Structure 1
Amino acid sequence: MSQQRFTRRGTTKFFFLKDIVAKELIPTRPELGGTNGTDLSPAISDIEGFAVENTPIDTPDLATEFTGNIPGEDKADNSSLTFYEDKVDNALETLLAKGVEGYVVILRKGDIPQSKSMDIFPVRVGSRSSTYTTASEPAKFKVSFNVTGKPVQDVAVPAAV
């Protein structure tokens, strides 16, 4: 099998959308780029979570010493984004204030229209806090997200308008 491998840095895009009109939770191109959507990618320093895990259910029985299992509930990992702090502008801090609800939209393979590589996570900001250090590194803040509904995965990136 031949693959064209890539790095997430410089390719993957993260957006925050305040709302998605479609009940299927698939954003349109204007929703990604308009006043409803914010490209978070240039400010992101670190990413945690944004993955769906299955918790298997054990199925022991009397006929064997081996305990098999079946698929159980799906659950999203704890998810967070760490951002570089801007010394003069607090737009990101305002956008991602505690309690804000919206959608984290991830274009895993970049902005390639019709590529089935878009994931949408319905979220609520659980916390936002500055990180402090005496090390020589940029000032940052971390936003923790609660995933509030079932993510939509592997859908097509909307066509360019």
Structure 2
Amino acid sequence: MTRVLWLTQVANLGHIPTRPELTAGTDLTNAIAAIDGWSLSNKAIETPDLGSTFETKIPGTDEADDSSLGFYEDKVSDEIEQLLSKDETGWIVFLRKGDIPGNRSMDVFPVRIGSRSPNYSTDNEAAKFTVSFSITEKPVQDAPVPSASGEPIPPKTDKQ
């Protein structure tokens, strides 16, 4: 059900793609052999005080885990290798529950490609390569999948 897309353009400064931008992207889903990272974590700040032996913490800065996608080699085409070459920038979009307009299951990661490396093996398995990504800005999580009208569905706020 999950779809993974590579986008070269997202005009919205909040990194929420429109339907035409999703449609213009490259669907990587069927070529993916492995996924690693693509999550956020928080570096807690210790806040000890003199009145307790218990050391409390508060949330600190967020960071993205090292992230990569592993792909099956294609014997005929090198489209993915051409798209995902070192230093290219773009967006990796995960549609976690599929492409269902309005569903709040779209995660958008602004990225720069750090490396693309073949995975050599003597085992009886498909040839693969790995692309490593640096997440360059805060990703958007749980965004609504844009409708067919082409406009992004605005995120919910407390004021709506």
Partner amino acid, structure 1, of 2:117? S
CA RMSD of aligned residues (A): 0.8
The SS at the match of 1:92 is helix
Structure 2 residue ranges without an equivalent (≥5) = 150-160
Question: Deviations for 1:106-135, whole angstroms, at most 9, x for unmatched residues?
Answer: 101111110011010000000100001111
CA distance in 1, matches of 2:102, 2:31: 26
Identity %: 54
CA distance in 2, matches of 1:118, 1:72: 25
For 2:22, the equivalent position in structure 1 comes to: 32
Q: Residues 71-110 of structure 1: matches in 2 within 5 Å? A: 71-110=59-98
**Of 88, 109, 128, the match for 1:140:** 128
Structure 1 residue ranges without an equivalent (≥5) = 1-10
Partner amino acid, structure 1, of 2:12? A
**Of 139, 144, 148, the match for 1:160:** 148
Runs of 4+ in 1 over 2 A off after TM superposition: none
For 1:47, the equivalent position in structure 2 comes to: 35
TM-score (normalizing by structure 1): 0.90
For 2:109, the equivalent position in structure 1 comes to: 121
CA distance in 1, matches of 2:13, 2:135: 17
CA distance in 2, matches of 1:105, 1:58: 34
The SS at the match of 1:159 is coil
Question: How many angstroms does 1:88 deviate by?
Answer: 2.0
Partner amino acid, structure 2, of 1:142? T
Question: Deviations for 1:3-51, whole angstroms, at most 9, x for unmatched residues?
Answer: xxxxxxxx111101001011121111111112xx100001000101110
**Of 129, 132, 137, the match for 1:149:** 137
TM-score (normalizing by structure 2): 0.91
CA distance in 2, matches of 1:57, 1:22: 33
The SS at the match of 1:46 is strand
Question: How many angstroms does 1:160 deviate by?
Answer: 2.3
For 1:7, the equivalent position in structure 2 comes to: none
